[in-house]
Amino acid sequence: MPAAPTEPTELLHYLPQHRVLICKECQYAIQPSAISRHLKELHRIYRSNRQKFMKYAEGLDLADPAYVILPGPNEGPVPFLPTIGGLACVVIGCHYLCATDKRMKMHWSAEHSGVVAGDTQCHLVKLQTFFRGNQLRYFIVRHSRTAQSQPERHSVVGSETTTSGISTPDTSLSCESPVAIPEDSRLLEHFQSSTCFELGDSAINISCWHSDVPELAAKYAFLQHGIIACAALHFAFLNPSEGQRYQLIAAHHQNIALPEFRSEIKDANINNYLALLAFTQLLIIHCFAADKHDEDLLLVQGRDDQSLPDWLHVIRGSCDIFKPVSQYVASLPNVAAMMELDLRDRSPERSDYDRRLRGLFDLINSNMAQNIENVEGSFSHLLSTLRLLSRAFTKAQVAQSRNTYSLWVALHVWPVRVSQEYLNLLKQRHPIALILLAHYCILLLPLKVNWYMSSYSRRLITRIYGQLDEEWRPWLQWPLEEIELQCG
């Protein structure tokens, strides 16, 4: 891993004629208001070392992205910015530029539908852009044999990525016939105007989802596809009549994102861990939010299928993914709140739910007495899992009293802590293992106010009830009462 730069000019390049500050490593200009955050989160330059960089930046005349003067069309490529092959609209007076044939067709469909095109709607040009994300503005540069020329690596609004393994424009479509406007950019806008406000549980987290995550997505295509998938599921929730269509869109983008995500997690490091963490959270939300058919839900698949819930796979797998960068992850607001719950909790050992849970201890102990040969086997694992569940109720109660309870706390206090032996029992549909999972559903119940959790507890416990024989069903009385569900 290369050493962090110690001098501002090693990392930053100032262009006084355009009043922009380019990050040499990231290959784009940094917005003036985001310099400190960029240095901290993308380059891990912390406060003591960052002061020198900030003092350097404060001495520069930097323009807001909206007022940056772009280079003229006959100028050479700007240093430290990638140059890509792009398209320019041929209509006189129209200065539209884009990176793909597909985007040009969208432009013609929206802006020039009444114009009779000649032989072509566009011509080839070389493009650069100072900024990414919402501030993306292409400009034409003169072709230079020495200029860095590369395909577009970053998936942003107004362009499509061409990275191997990621969705690429359909080059079989010619530039002469306009196509229907795709949903992608509309869903990206929906994420920033609506969905992001439903994901954060604090002003800091909401700001992160609204600004920081989309900015990261300009660098990591898998994250942008994850954003689109999440926005599509949110839109499906808000518009049930179009639900199936947007669920398919969500599944499409998730399928594109996952291979690159899997490739990236093989080398989790300080440069990519924020993007990986953001996508992991979106993936967990996707697991809960996807309005799947019953056969895709836990416990409803064929009798020979021993799968666990998707979200349980993801949340437990993420524990291993982020071990190499655990010291950085620990500083994030959500994670810090959960660590505080573990390390600084001064709450009593008992919760308001102890009386209810005591019956489960009796259930396990009585079954252990009847199955002496398994005392060191399944029942000991069930007993330790129940102890974890009891502590989870206490921690959840503390978090709720502090108004810090969230999905991430709910997942942290129990699912990530249970043993693999318990999960194996769950795969085998062990009745007591299922009963413990049903009681965990109570901890998910306060989260039903979130659109992606609105009916999950009810659906899951209904399936658990259906998997249990009649003799075990009375043990679900408390979860059924809490969820206000009648079965049978």
Alpha carbons 345 and 398: distance in angstroms, whole number: 8
CA distances from 293 to 247, 282, 298, 459, 465 (A): 11, 20, 11, 11, 18
Q: pLDDT tens digit string along 202-218?
A: 666 787 888 889 999 98
Q: How far is CA 9 from the centre of its chain?
A: 33
Examine residue 33 and state whether it is found in any structural domain, yes or no. Answer: yes
Sole residue written with tokens 């594109």: 256
Are 116 and 206 found together in one domain? no
Does the pLDDT value for residue 387 go beyond 70? yes
Of residues 33 and 179, more confidently modeled: 33
Does the pLDDT value for residue 54 go beyond 90? yes
Alpha carbons 95 and 141: distance in angstroms, whole number: 14
On whether the CB atoms of residues 413 and 443 are closer than 8 A, the answer is yes
pLDDT attached to residue 377: 66
Examine residue 428 and state whether it is found in any structural domain, yes or no. Answer: yes
pLDDT attached to residue 369: 58
Alpha carbons 176 and 268: distance in angstroms, whole number: 43
Q: Which of 323, 350, 375 is the last residue of a domain?
A: 323
* Ramachandran sector of residue 273 (left: φ over 0; alpha: ψ -120 to 50; beta: rest): alpha
Does the pLDDT value for residue 32 go beyond 90? yes
Expressed as residue numbers, the domain containing 75 is: 71-155
Of residues 293 and 7, more confidently modeled: 7
Burial 114-138 (b: 16+ CB within 10 A, else e): eeeeeeebbeebbbbbbbbbbbbeb
Are 294 and 357 found together in one domain? no
Are 108 and 212 found together in one domain? no
At residue 112, the 3 state secondary structure works out as: coil
Backbone angles phi, psi at 86, to 5 degrees: -140, -170
State both tokens at 411: 């997942």
Percent of the chain with pLDDT over 90: 23
Examine residue 176 and state whether it is found in any structural domain, yes or no. Answer: no
**107-116: Cβ within 8 A, 24+ apart:** 108/178, 109/178, 109/179, 109/180, 109/181, 110/181, 113/178, 115/91
Are 352 and 472 found together in one domain? yes
pLDDT attached to residue 120: 73
Examine residue 178 and state whether it is found in any structural domain, yes or no. Answer: no
Are 42 and 109 found together in one domain? no
Does the pLDDT value for residue 158 go beyond 90? no
Does the pLDDT value for residue 128 go beyond 60? yes
State both tokens at 358: 């005591």
Length of the chain: 488
DSSP category for residue 22: E
Q: pLDDT tens digit string along 61-93?
A: 999 998 898 887 768 899 999 888 888 888 877
Are 194 and 310 found together in one domain? yes
**pTM of the entire structure?**
0.57
Of residues 11 and 120, more confidently modeled: 11
Q: pLDDT tens digit string along 327-349?
A: 555 555 555 444 444 544 544 55
Are 217 and 316 found together in one domain? yes
Examine residue 3 and state whether it is found in any structural domain, yes or no. Answer: no
Listed residue (80, 71, 67) closest to 29, CA to CA: 80
Q: pLDDT tens digit string along 250-267?
A: 888 888 888 888 888 888
Are 124 and 241 found together in one domain? no
H or E element that contains 84: strand 84-89
Angle, alpha carbons 384-385-388 (nearest 5°):
90
Are 239 and 352 found together in one domain? no
Examine residue 1 and state whether it is found in any structural domain, yes or no. Answer: no
Lowest mean pLDDT among 38-42, 69-73, 155-159, 344-348: 155-159
* The amino acid at 415: P
Alpha carbons 48 and 51: distance in angstroms, whole number: 6
Q: Which of 29, 44, 67 is the last residue of a domain?
A: 67
Residue 220's pLDDT band (cuts 50, 70, 90)? very high
Residue 118's pLDDT band (cuts 50, 70, 90)? low
Are 301 and 390 found together in one domain? no
On whether the CB atoms of residues 22 and 15 are closer than 8 A, the answer is yes
Examine residue 416 and state whether it is found in any structural domain, yes or no. Answer: yes
Alpha carbons 365 and 375: distance in angstroms, whole number: 9
Listed residue (177, 125, 185) closest to 160, CA to CA: 185
Are 343 and 476 found together in one domain? yes
Are 137 and 218 found together in one domain? no
How many domains does the chain fold into? 4
> Mean pLDDT in the chain?
77
DSSP category for residue 209: I
H or E element that contains 28: strand 28-29
Does the pLDDT value for residue 53 go beyond 90? yes
